[in-house]
Amino acid sequence: MKCIEVAVLFVLVQAAIPHNAAFARLVNTTSYPTTVAPDLIHPEETTGPYPHSTPVLFSNVSGSLDDQGICQCSVYLPDTTFPVQKVEQLEIIAQTLSQKFESELSKVTLYMKTVELYEQKIQNLTIKVEHMEKNSVSYTEMDFQLLKMEIIEMEKLITQLKLTLGGSNVIVEQLYVEIKNLTLIVNDMESMDTNNILAIRRQIVYLQNQLKACEGNSNKTIEVPYFPPGSCTHGGLLNVSQPYNIQLNWRGFSYKYGAWGRDYSPLTPEKDLYWVAPLNLDARYLEYYRLYNSYDDLLLYKNPREYRVALGDGSGTIVYKNFMYFNYYGSREIAKLDLNTNTIVLRKALPNAAYGNRFSYASVTWQDMDLSVDENGLWVIYSTEASTGNIVISKLNETSLDVLNTWQTKQYKPSVSSAFIICGVLYATRTVNTRKEEIFYAYDTKTGQESKISIIMDKMLETVQSINYSPGDQRLYIYNDGYLIRHDLTFKPIL
């Protein structure tokens, strides 16, 4: 290759400077003007006011002898005899041409160097390709990609070079062919990838990209839509947050049973009222409760208002519009307690309700009646003998404690750990292990449809004694073995 290159370069140099030969001779003719033959002069230079068709070679001259006896004579050479001015012009032109040649020559040297560099690059690439061919197992997609990029770059450079040289250069053509050849070989090698490793790799990359795109999309859908408190324009419970606000109840660690929550007063939503109602050590009697007027007070056990109730039964207590509702001790009655005065203002029997620890929740005793509040008002979750222990839901008139409507579910109450109602949908939980509960069952009172769901809820300790939903902040308030914990909820959009 080297030899061909040099030889062709010589041709290139000659081709690049067509005036060179004429120029050299002209240089010599200026030294010997009398020997100038008309045909040696460039045709362009012969045209002029003094045509050489009738040359006069000799003329008579007059002469004289000087003091030293040397013969002196003046010769008059007419323009027609020798074009002195033309020669001067030629000299100037020759100089210009000479400079041009120099610059052309230096260009060629530059091209030469570039070509050498390309030559080396091609050699390097060839070595790489050969190496890859030999070790066909070890090559990777990366190798091919790099190789292809290099080849493409080379192709670009060569094309550029071709343009600069006017497209008629043999070496450049040669380089171009070689590069094309390399491309073919690389493509060939790829297609000879018998194990389809590259194809599989590409497929993996494609799948990874799809996955990323999918993630990007799903992030958009996971972006939880906002539903203002009190609103039921969502499509049900989506998820439950990590537990927050871990705090021991005010009576202490041994008071493992109880309930707590936040009052929901839709007409005065700005009013903050937290209530904590641990049961006595017998895990049955609701005797004392505390109220806090702010979340900060609750956290710091500050400014509590502590009251004594004339006995409630179990931890199914709830507070709604500044009234506390609970199962009155030893009866199927629901009691309504005015929190302003701590007096029971109403007691009413819940028809057919089982009571006295007949159908309590799985790991909690004496919670035959679980009172609940959602966006629509007051509910009670219980069982009857007729329901054979399955959960019965009743909507209550909070003023009269009359049952407004009743729904029978197919879920056995003693097999769930707790339940709550959101937007008319009952959600029931069961214990997964000592650290997790699962919201596994839903019953929609609007449609009478029940469904199996699975939302995992972390807990601090083993047993969940009660779960109360607060529509005012859309949170769950859980009494967990004497600890008060709270979860945020997210909701699905309506599909």
120 binds ligand NAG (CB under 6 A): yes
Cα–chain center distance at 443: 38
- The least CB distance from residue 120 to ligand NAG, in Å, is 4
The residue among 68 and 433 lying less far from ligand NAG, judged by its C-beta, is 433
Burial 49-70 (b: 16+ CB within 10 A, else e): eeeeeeeeeeeeeeeeeeeeee
- The least CB distance from residue 404 to ligand NAG, in Å, is 6
117 binds ligand NAG (CB under 6 A): yes
**Token digits of residue 293:** 């007027």
- Contact between 180 and 186 under an 8 Å Cβ cutoff? The reply is no
How many other CB atoms are found less than 10 A from the CB of residue 159? 14
Nearest to 463 by CA among 482, 444, 446: 482
- The least CB distance from residue 135 to ligand NAG, in Å, is 17
The residue among 285 and 427 lying less far from ligand NAG, judged by its C-beta, is 427
- The least CB distance from residue 24 to ligand NAG, in Å, is 5
Contact window for ligand NAG (CB under 6 A) among 43-51, 117-125, 199-207, 379-387: 117-125
348 binds ligand NAG (CB under 6 A): no
Cα–chain center distance at 19: 65
Angle at 462 between CA 456 and CA 468, to 5 degrees: 60
- Contact between 48 and 86 under an 8 Å Cβ cutoff? The reply is yes
- When binding is defined by CB under 6 A, the residue of 53, 60, 68, 454 that contacts ligand NAG is 60
244: Cβ–Cβ under 8 A, 6 or more apart, which residues? Answer: 485, 486, 487, 488
Contact window for ligand NAG (CB under 6 A) among 20-28, 228-236, 312-320, 335-343: 20-28
- When binding is defined by CB under 6 A, the residue of 8, 13, 20, 25 that contacts ligand NAG is 25
241 binds ligand NAG (CB under 6 A): yes
- The least CB distance from residue 102 to ligand NAG, in Å, is 18
Burial of 399 (0-12, 13-18, 19+ CB in 10 A): exposed
Nearest to 370 by CA among 435, 322, 429, 448: 429
- When binding is defined by CB under 6 A, the residue of 103, 399, 405, 447 that contacts ligand NAG is 399
- The least CB distance from residue 480 to ligand NAG, in Å, is 16
Nearest to 125 by CA among 213, 189, 77, 73: 189
The residue among 284 and 336 lying less far from ligand NAG, judged by its C-beta, is 336
Which sign, positive or negative, has the C-alpha torsion 281, 284, 290, 293? positive
Sheet with 377-383: strands ordered across: 370-374, 377-383, 390-396, 403-412
- The least CB distance from residue 487 to ligand NAG, in Å, is 9
The residue among 424 and 482 lying less far from ligand NAG, judged by its C-beta, is 424
- Sketch the per residue contact string, 162 through 201, with ligand NAG: x for CB under 6 A, - otherwise: ---------------xx--x---x----------------
Nearest to 377 by CA among 360, 402, 345: 402
| Chain residues 95-114 in contact with ligand NAG, contact rule CB under 6 A | none
Contact window for ligand NAG (CB under 6 A) among 92-100, 120-128, 250-258, 264-272: 120-128
454 binds ligand NAG (CB under 6 A): no
30 binds ligand NAG (CB under 6 A): no
Binding residues vs ligand NAG (CB under 6 A): 24-25, 28, 60, 117, 120-121, 124, 177-178, 181, 185, 215-216, 219, 239, 241-242, 397, 399-400, 404
